[in-house]
Structure 1
Amino acid sequence: VVVAVVVVRLVVVVSEVVLEVVVVVLWVVVVVLRVVAVMVVVLNVVVVLLRVVVVAVVVVRLVVVVSEVVLEVVVVVLWVVVVVLRVVAVMVVVLNVVVVLLRVVVVAVVV
């Protein structure tokens, strides 16, 4: 009977130790899972920030393309202005020639 009581007490003590070890292991698993959850949240924030960076890069590229188009339009407009000014300059020269010819005609008619 005494041996049976000792064996039962030994089994109880061993089972208590095993249960304590199981509790500690489960606690460690819970802590690890919480750390993993925090890491997932941090990674989600990083992904959102990377998406913001990608959107910013796309916006900058769009601004660059639009500015290039605007500069091309300005160059074309300036080229048209130069052509118009050259035509005006030719017209001024032609009008000067006409004025000179009219003066010659007036002088010829008067004389």
Structure 2
Amino acid sequence: MKFLVLSVLALIGETATEVVVVVVVVVVVVVVGVGVVVAAVVVLAVVVVVLVGVVVVVVVVVVVVRVVGEVVVVVVVVVVVVVVGEVVVVVVVVVVEVVVVVIEVVGVAVEIVVGVGVVVVVVVQKTTISSSSAPFAKFTYQRVVVVVVVVVVVVVVVVAVVVVVVVAAAAAVVVVVVVVVVVVVVIVFDSIASLLSLWRLVFNKEVNAKIFGISY
């Protein structure tokens, strides 16, 4: 009887140690995953701010050009070309950042799965070793079930949060990029139309004859 009590106490001590190890591993993995997600969100927020700044600059330039006159419309075309190039560069950077975040998230998920596998293997091994008597086998079986359920729930919650954050960030980036592209296309077509109007005005025979006395 004394040996049975001591064995049960020793098994309880081992179980408590394993639970503490599992909790520490899960906490570390969660902290790393949250850190990666926060870093990705910060990077995406900075990119969004840059894109919005580019759009504001383009709009201001167009307004100034409209106020000054149609003569400097060529400058608008040059600015639009430069802005389109900058937007393409920013889009490429955003895509690269999203890919990096996805790779990091997959890495964290793999680490979680590996950690869960190690814990399950250790617990199952101890269960096999200590299952010579019915009480021990029943106790270790319950321990395996509890540990696996807790770890699976934590993994599912972490992965769900990471997926939601990444999808939301990617959707926000797509919306901003679409808005920027639409604005740039509108500006390009408007600038081309203005340039054509100016071209027709400069090469109008009647206007040249009346204002400059040029006839051809």
2:208 to 82, 95, 99: 82
Mapped contact 2:202–2:208 kept (Cα < 8 A): no
Size of the alignment, in residue pairs?
A: 82
Gaps of 5+ in 2: 5-132
TM-score (norm 2): 0.33
> CA separation in 2, counterparts of 1:86 and 1:17?
98
1:60 is matched with 187
Alpha-carbon shift at residue 22 of structure 1 (Å):
2.1
Is it true that 1:10 corresponds to 2:137 in the alignment? yes
SS in 1 for 2:203: helix
Q: Deviations over 1:46-103 (max 9, x none)?
A: 11011111112211212221221221232134x323334357xxxxxxxxxxxxxxxx
Gaps of 5+ in 1: 88-111
> CA separation in 2, counterparts of 1:63 and 1:45?
27
> CA separation in 1, counterparts of 2:198 and 2:185?
20
Task: Within 5 Å, give how 1:29-108 maps onto structure 2.
Answer: 29-77=156-204, 79-84=205-210, 85=213
CA RMSD of aligned residues (A): 2.4
> CA separation in 1, counterparts of 2:156 and 2:188?
47
> CA separation in 1, counterparts of 2:184 and 2:207?
36
1:32 maps to a residue whose letter is: V
**Alpha-carbon distance change, 86 to 72 in structure 1, aligned in 2, over 3 angstroms:** closer
**Alpha-carbon distance change, 27 to 13 in structure 1, aligned in 2, over 3 angstroms:** same
Larger proportion of helix: 1
